[in-house]
Structure 1
Amino acid sequence: MDSNLKKFNRNIEILAPAGSYEGMKAAMNAGCDAVYIGGSSFGARAYANNLDEDTLLRAIDEAHIRNKKLYLTVNTLVKEDERLEKLEHFLDRFYERGLDAVIVQDLGVLHYIHKNFPHLPIHASTQMTLTMAEGANLLKDYNVTRIVTSRELSFKEIRTIRDNTDLEIETFVHGALCYSYSGQCLMSSMIGGRSGNRGRCAQPCRMSYQFYSENKRISKGDETYLLSPKDINTVAFIPELIEAGVDSFKIEGRMKRPEYAAAVTSIYRKYVDYYLEYGKEKYQDIVRSDVFNQDMMDLMDIYNRGGFSGGYGKTYNGKKMMSMTRPNHSGVYVGDVVKVEKGQVKIDLKENINSQDVLEIRDGEDKGYEFTSKDPMDAGRILTANTGKAKLKVDLKVYRTKNNSLLDKISKEYIDQDVKQAINGSLYAKSGERLELTISSNNISVTSYQDMVQEATKQPMTKEKLLAPIMKTGESPYYFEKLDVQMGDNIFVPVSWLNEIRREAIELLQENVMDRYRRDLKKDQKEGNITLGHELNKPMGLCVTIQTREQFRAALEVPEVDGIYVSYDMMVYKDILPMAEETVNGGKDFYLVLPYICRLPEYERLNKELPSIIADDNIKGFIVKNMEEVALVTSLTKDKPKEIILNYNMYVYNKEAYEFWREKGITHYSAPVELNYGELKTLGIKDCDMVVYGHQPVMVSAQCLYASTSGCIKQKGVISHNGHLVDRISKKFFVQTNCDSCYNIIYNGQSLSLLKQVSEVKELDPRNIRLDFTFETEDESKKVIKAFADAYIHNKNTSLGMADKTEYTSGHFKRGIE
């Protein structure tokens, strides 16, 4: 064994997607260690073929009999009016059956499950946008045993997490990649009311867009799927993933067919096992082999988007990670059109094809023409295809979008028949003693008995005759790997006894396996009540979030402004304390708004710069946008307390979430922007800031639209506001590029304005109303502030009066989300 491997030689879990019961069994047959699957409610794939309650209970037993684990997705945000008590009724039977873990995004759901299902392990979903151990460790007191890292992390960042937490690490290794950080995307929600945070994403990232900078289009005409990343394939990086400390290799794909789950699982099982057995040097050899190349071709045939990328492990971002000419399955290139005749084309094959393969002659973005091959044919030959009246031309590329032979092979190996579990047995058959069969599997041993064995009156039993009925395990999930026999010399045992003792032993083994996982909910359950928010006697305040010095001056000049929230990303460090002093001298409170994403470089910068800021008495507090910032600010302010406000992207959707944060010492929140008036009223937002104006972020992405179109602009220290996307119906989305931290924020082109909903907002009685400025000039900012001050404080009828900004939206205040 490779000497360097000993350090990393541990059990590596292959975690497969299961969009159906059939998909679950296919993945298990292909060698996964665990599956993740959705039930009828609370899952992030609302449109998958999720399991009903009885089928899910059967699936839990099936997994345990096969020595596998089953994790249930409970990874959506839950509104207060949906009542978390429904979650208890949803989970109770699964908990008692032995469910291995739940995958959770909502911190209120996490808090509720920990309180009511105390022995149920919780996995923190990638939707929590966890990027560092410091954030993850905040969850350890709530029975969180594993984190699913953000997909954007490098191997180095994962290794840093591994070095700073004892939580298990789960990382996506294969499948679809979101353009936005998971949990930070509101695009589907804002466009059509289908929230990705609720399992109903309409995938606007797979739609067509054009990108403009300085009002000039810089995206190419045939590269319109600007937000569509390639799927990731990390088989070549298995050594790096294991050495980085990843415990669970997660395969994306609950919306895909069972053949997909089986094929991808089998290949990752094969190569993880190979690395663990032979080490890195030999692994590098096999990656260069024809066998490896064929396996990668099979993965391409199963599903790819313009090929694969290796993900973010070694690549920060860039055009090579994007599939901008086609957003769905691209298939595999198999040949070129070399001749066009009336009703026919000749295709020069570059790859072997099979009978019943689906082939597509493709003209750019359009399909062109699709047909099914009749016979197999080798590469190098000319295929003649009847194309009818289709308008085709020479040099068009031909792709295979369905490899029928491969799908048949997968079905035969992993779907049509089950892989059985090995058991060992011992049969004891001696005259005058009871017939006895002991079988064992996974440290569980059971014994079944029959009547007294008789002496043979005619021909005695042979060992072979004793073994034959016992070995016939039939449709049970087991086969005998080893079966010992202790028998007398002159005995007779009826075949019916042997069949019966085998059936009883196998049933007893299954019962014992399942019983090992059973729980008693009433015995385990704790009692607990939710502490509701405290009443505030102070009148509703007016706070303003600013990103420029011009907006800062506008906020300072309006006396009704109570607090100024200054974007840390947008300011020069040396200017922050003078701005704070100026703010306090103007009779207002000064807060710093921290970045949306806090990865290792940002964390180190904040850890270096914040202590001197915290020491200043003019700093009232911080608006935090992720768990890492909560951990850092909480730690740095122990000796000099500052107020911590959760931004709305921290998703406080229910009172259990309030309770979670109160236990962390945080009592000031921001009202969720996806909830409507009625839902906010049910939640209660007396402890919340409520955003009533501003362009709302719909995506935060590690990708850069400049880098993937015209090329990186390489402007360190510059925040660009000059780009915008236009979708297929001419809807605008503004793009903000942060070159220091290398990420993009995409904003809704329509600004939120609740200037006409004053009475409803006042009825909700938030702690503060908040105006978020992004691209506004000083004059525009001043007009907006005065308009909202007149309406909300002085009870005047008013309008924004900005002729060039006529498009406003009330967001979800009236409509809400699914």
Structure 2
Amino acid sequence: MNSIAQITPELLLPVGTREMLEAAVNNGADAVYFGVPHWNARGRTEDFTFDDVRDMIRYARIHGVRTFLAMNVLVFERELQELPEFLEKIISLEPDAFIIQDIGLARLIRAICPNQEIHASTQMTLASAEGVNLVKSIGFNRAVLARELSVKEIAAIKAATDLELEVFIHGALCVSYSGQCLTSENFGGRSANRGQCAQSCRLPYRIFVDGKEFRDTDAQYLFSTRDLCALPKLPELEEIGVNSLKVEGRLKSPEYVAAVSRAYRKALNRIPLDAKDMEPLEVLFSRGLTTGWLDGDNHQELVNGTFSNHHGMVLGQVVKADRGQIIIGLDSAISDAGENACYPQPGDGILFENAALGVSIGSRLYAAQVTHLPHAKRGDPKLLKLEFGRDFDTRQIAVGMQVYRNDSPALERELRKTFTDREQLARLPVHMTLSGKIGGPLKLSVYDTPKNAVEVEADFTLEEARNKGNDADKALRELAQKELSGLSATAYQLKHLDIQVDRGAFIPGKILRTLRQAAIEKLDEKRTEWKVLNPSAEAGKKFLNEIRDKFKSGAASSGAPAANGTTFAKTVSDSKRPIISVLVRNPDQIAALKGLDIDRVIMDFDWGVKYDESLQQIRDLGFAAGMATLRIHKPGESHYLKNILRLCPDFALVRNLGALSILKESGIPLTGDYSLNAANSASYDWLLSQGLTTLHPSWDLNSTQLFDLLENIDGERLELTLHQYMPAFHSEYCAFARALTTGRRFPECGKICTKHKVEILDHKGERHFLQSDAECRNTLFVGKPQSALKLLPRLRTAGVNHFRLEMLTEDAETVRRKVLIYTQAIQGKISIEDAIREAGIQEKYGLSEGQLFNESTWQDRKK
């Protein structure tokens, strides 16, 4: 571990409205983050104006709270070219930092304003020190780590980097690695990488194992994770030296923000928490709290499977239901809390549920009291009698139903006071000195810290009082204390007042009020002073023009050195003929490629499958043999990359930044995959500069955006997959283990994924394929494959000559038929229309055009 003194980490809270900002600031936040106008990864939050942002930054800075602007989305080429003026304007509002996903956007901000702080979003899927250190070279000041890391893994990253690290500690967990999820886009037509997540993972799904529906599971909501609560892990995260602790929730309520801020502030201040602190965290919004991945994989704990929405605090189970009242056996967490027990209050929302039968019933509580059954014995669980209004039919309630408390107006009212009641607002203590001599000026100096000291002078000459004496001096002191402590409309409170005024002086109250107001205004200005940044839109335009000129001149097309001393890009593109790669996912598919008009074969095998023989088999068939890296790289997972280095394939398909960092000096030619999320020329330029010969664009681009990109890059450096099963999500969570076993992690699961073929049926009646990779991570592949054949003529005109075909579970005969159809179309031997028709016949669930042909723009109609 780095030899650094243990720091108290920053507590970072989400802001979706102005009230949420005030709730965070007044309940202990050190920093807040909110969306940039028109640009943020929470498309359903309030879209602030520039004036809103300026005012919110000022409010936060006066209170000593840092502000981060979230612009953590992918940026398309046309948008990038139009951004310099916008960025100059938003940087001029003086945020502390930007949270960025897009590499091109980060570079553009750096060009416009070299001293602007930028943080690498969790959307960049940074899960290893190698990846973190690679993006450091772009100019990032901080990395927000992937949520799928354990405390041990976070410690390993911290020990190997000097970049600041930020870790999520509370709120919703995504089942997919952030930045690697296309579920919303594929199932709902809305891209998560563009701030429009439809939360498709929260929907119910049915499981089919080896073609038959699997009913021996309660996991209907198979991909809906519980919520994260890292309170038990804070001491370990502090000891590691994590710089920032982040709370998710820009779509939550101000009361939720207040509750979470208070609990974590208390914990960070070493004040023991009790049941009362946890109560609002569960009641206001909770799908069940867990430490997520911080304790390592626990597939049974991470997903409940029986629900996906807010359920709140577990109260217990129904033991008796009578007309008008219900008796429940209290959950041990409540009954064991003693005098700190959190019982429901009149008006609270109560939810009764039988998940197995799909029964869910709710009502407002009329009254509640602790009770007992006749002939109760010592040690029997405590009981709670719940009473409801006449409109609630208690005959719907059955013994054994689970009971939750999922709403509390009284609790919300108390939390709301923390940021609306002037008496409860957090204030900064200030010291004041009132000084002056009779016949001279009256001065007031104010400071909160020595570096924030200001002084103002009244346009008033101090005069003698007409009535002198001790009473007059006492009256002056009382008046000064009263007038100068009137700070309820400010961010301050008077801690100490020193009066150094000549005895017998007279000062009108109006003069004191004017002095106080002037001093506080000056102190506000002092506290909001910011470093000189001088953002320049012209510098940004120059940067973009230089990239465009570089691609047009061919300066960006040198490629990485191959083992034979030539360059891989050059050897495969000189002829301008199409270069066709086929990705296979099991060795049995390789032989089917014999004699076909392709150039390269990429091996992407499951856990335990050997590469040595397959590598030689591919070469014997006359093809270049490549190996794909995994989509994620975590601490301790370099053995897979070491295998690539040992076997030295003809090329490697790089899928994550950690792998790129490790392999870029290996001498093995590298190609970049769509998971690197290149969406614009500035990101293309940087990724290619890291040693990639070609690069696949992000699947967030549609055809219009793709051809916009091709106008400003070298088409020969772009590879596009013409046929594949789109990956909906890529997850550390194993749905195989959760649904089909009781195993928490490998090897308790018995590697069930290798023994069965599993399909997932969605709410539209479509089936999708669930696959595991060499590190037990799951990918859900959309059952209807996507074909980009319609774009082929335009792609060739734009200079694209690298094309890929991806196989999944097809048998050898099907692989051969598919590849033959596509190669004939690419070579012009059959028409595009005939190829699409023939390709569709080969597919079990048909063929899709996918996102490439989606020209619609999702509009949020909440307003």
1:421 aligns with 2:428: yes
Q: Distance in 2 between matches of 1:646 and 1:5?
A: 32
Letter of the 2:452 partner, please give it: I
Deviations 1:535-563 (A, max 9, x none): 665222111111122221222431x1011
Give the C-alpha shift of residue 790 in structure 1: 1.0
Deviating more after overlay: 351-360 vs 795-804:
795-804
Aligned residue runs from structure 1 range 535-574, under 5 A: 538-558=576-596, 560-567=597-604, 569=606, 572-573=609-610
Give the C-alpha shift of residue 760 in structure 1: 3.9
Could you tell me whether the CA contact under 8 Å between 1:658 and 1:667 is conserved in 2? no
Return closer, same or farther for 1:302/1:84 CA change in 2, 3 Å cut-off.
Answer: farther
Match of 1:680 in 2: 706
Match of 1:810 in 2: 849
Letter of the 2:851 partner, please give it: H
1:347 aligns with 2:385: no
Letter of the 2:464 partner, please give it: E
Deviating more after overlay: 434-443 vs 98-107:
434-443
Return closer, same or farther for 1:373/1:801 CA change in 2, 3 Å cut-off.
Answer: closer
Aligned residue runs from structure 1 range 704-783, under 5 A: 704-711=734-741, 712=743, 714-715=749-750, 719=754, 722-738=757-773, 740-783=774-817
SS of equivalent to 1:359? strand
Match of 1:282 in 2: none
1:447 aligns with 2:447: no
1:58 aligns with 2:50: no
Return closer, same or farther for 1:220/1:581 CA change in 2, 3 Å cut-off.
Answer: closer
Could you tell me whether the CA contact under 8 Å between 2:368 and 2:385 is conserved in 1? no
Letter of the 1:397 partner, please give it: Q
Deviating more after overlay: 716-725 vs 488-497:
716-725
Could you tell me whether the CA contact under 8 Å between 2:258 and 2:418 is conserved in 1? no
Return closer, same or farther for 1:721/1:531 CA change in 2, 3 Å cut-off.
Answer: farther
Deviations 1:257-289 (A, max 9, x none): 0011110111001001107xxxxxxxxxx4xxx
Q: Which runs of 5+ in 1 are unaligned?
A: 276-285
2:235 to 229, 239, 242: 239
Return closer, same or farther for 1:802/1:309 CA change in 2, 3 Å cut-off.
Answer: same
Q: Distance in 2 between matches of 1:759 and 1:476?
A: 65
1:435 aligns with 2:445: no
Aligned residue runs from structure 1 range 593-604, under 5 A: 593-603=628-638
Q: Distance in 1 between matches of 2:661 and 2:481?
A: 63
1:463 to 464, 477, 480: 477
Q: Distance in 2 between matches of 1:332 and 1:570?
A: 40
Give the C-alpha shift of residue 12 in structure 1: 1.1
Return closer, same or farther for 1:311/1:143 CA change in 2, 3 Å cut-off.
Answer: same
Match of 2:297 in 1: 316
Could you tell me whether the CA contact under 8 Å between 1:195 and 1:817 is conserved in 2? no
SS of equivalent to 2:152? helix
Match of 1:172 in 2: 168
Could you tell me whether the CA contact under 8 Å between 1:335 and 1:347 is conserved in 2? no
Match of 1:408 in 2: 413
Give the C-alpha shift of residue 584 in structure 1: 3.8
Return closer, same or farther for 1:5/1:102 CA change in 2, 3 Å cut-off.
Answer: closer
Give the C-alpha shift of residue 795 in structure 1: 3.4
SS of equivalent to 1:775? coil
Return closer, same or farther for 1:672/1:795 CA change in 2, 3 Å cut-off.
Answer: farther
1:328 aligns with 2:309: yes
SS of equivalent to 1:170? strand
Give the C-alpha shift of residue 448 in structure 1: 0.1
1:394 aligns with 2:391: no
Return closer, same or farther for 1:389/1:764 CA change in 2, 3 Å cut-off.
Answer: farther
Q: Distance in 2 between matches of 1:183 and 1:496?
A: 59
2:546 to 510, 530, 533: 530
Q: Distance in 2 between matches of 1:817 and 1:242?
A: 46
Letter of the 1:43 partner, please give it: N
Q: Which runs of 5+ in 2 are unaligned?
A: 331-341, 372-382, 555-572, 858-863
SS of equivalent to 1:709? helix
Could you tell me whether the CA contact under 8 Å between 1:349 and 1:382 is conserved in 2? no
SS of equivalent to 1:686? helix
Could you tell me whether the CA contact under 8 Å between 2:284 and 2:407 is conserved in 1? yes
Letter of the 1:293 partner, please give it: A
Letter of the 1:369 partner, please give it: I
Q: Distance in 1 between matches of 2:153 and 2:439?
A: 68
Match of 2:351 in 1: 360
Match of 1:147 in 2: 143
Give the C-alpha shift of residue 658 in structure 1: 1.4
Q: Distance in 2 between matches of 1:413 and 1:749?
A: 50
Could you tell me whether the CA contact under 8 Å between 1:622 and 1:642 is conserved in 2? yes
Return closer, same or farther for 1:487/1:216 CA change in 2, 3 Å cut-off.
Answer: same
Could you tell me whether the CA contact under 8 Å between 1:555 and 1:782 is conserved in 2? yes
Deviating more after overlay: 481-490 vs 164-173:
481-490
RMSD across aligned C-alpha pairs, in angstroms?
2.6
SS of equivalent to 1:10? coil
1:253 aligns with 2:269: no
1:792 aligns with 2:826: yes
TM-score, scaled to structure 2: 0.86
Return closer, same or farther for 1:609/1:667 CA change in 2, 3 Å cut-off.
Answer: closer
Return closer, same or farther for 1:132/1:259 CA change in 2, 3 Å cut-off.
Answer: same
Q: Distance in 2 between matches of 1:719 and 1:681?
A: 40
Match of 1:119 in 2: 115
Deviations 1:670-700 (A, max 9, x none): 1332322221111114311111112121111
Match of 2:45 in 1: 48
1:668 aligns with 2:694: yes
Give the C-alpha shift of residue 61 in structure 1: 0.5
Letter of the 2:591 partner, please give it: R
Could you tell me whether the CA contact under 8 Å between 1:646 and 1:669 is conserved in 2? yes
Letter of the 1:545 partner, please give it: L
Could you tell me whether the CA contact under 8 Å between 1:624 and 1:646 is conserved in 2? yes
Deviating more after overlay: 240-249 vs 155-164:
240-249
SS of equivalent to 1:736? strand
Deviating more after overlay: 687-696 vs 535-544:
535-544
| Percent identity (aligned) | 27
Deviating more after overlay: 149-158 vs 683-692:
683-692
TM-score, scaled to structure 1: 0.91
Deviations 1:462-514 (A, max 9, x none): 32222221111231221112222212112111211111111111111111222
Could you tell me whether the CA contact under 8 Å between 2:758 and 2:770 is conserved in 1? yes
Letter of the 1:439 partner, please give it: V
Match of 2:494 in 1: 480
Deviations 1:139-176 (A, max 9, x none): 22332111111111111110111111111110000110
Return closer, same or farther for 1:804/1:504 CA change in 2, 3 Å cut-off.
Answer: closer
Letter of the 1:265 partner, please give it: S
Give the C-alpha shift of residue 718 in structure 1: 7.2
Letter of the 1:516 partner, please give it: W
Letter of the 2:296 partner, please give it: T
SS of equivalent to 2:454? strand
Could you tell me whether the CA contact under 8 Å between 2:627 and 2:644 is conserved in 1? no
Give the C-alpha shift of residue 111 in structure 1: 1.2
Match of 1:653 in 2: 679
Letter of the 1:359 partner, please give it: I
Match of 1:272 in 2: 268
Match of 1:280 in 2: none
Match of 1:303 in 2: 285
Deviations 1:446-470 (A, max 9, x none): 1100122112222444322222211
Aligned residue runs from structure 1 range 85-96, under 5 A: 85-86=82-83, 88-96=84-92
Q: Distance in 2 between matches of 1:353 and 1:50?
A: 36
Give the C-alpha shift of residue 8 in structure 1: 5.4
Letter of the 2:501 partner, please give it: M
Return closer, same or farther for 1:661/1:754 CA change in 2, 3 Å cut-off.
Answer: closer
Q: Distance in 2 between matches of 1:468 and 1:608?
A: 73
Deviating more after overlay: 57-66 vs 508-517:
508-517
Q: Distance in 2 between matches of 1:632 and 1:572?
A: 22
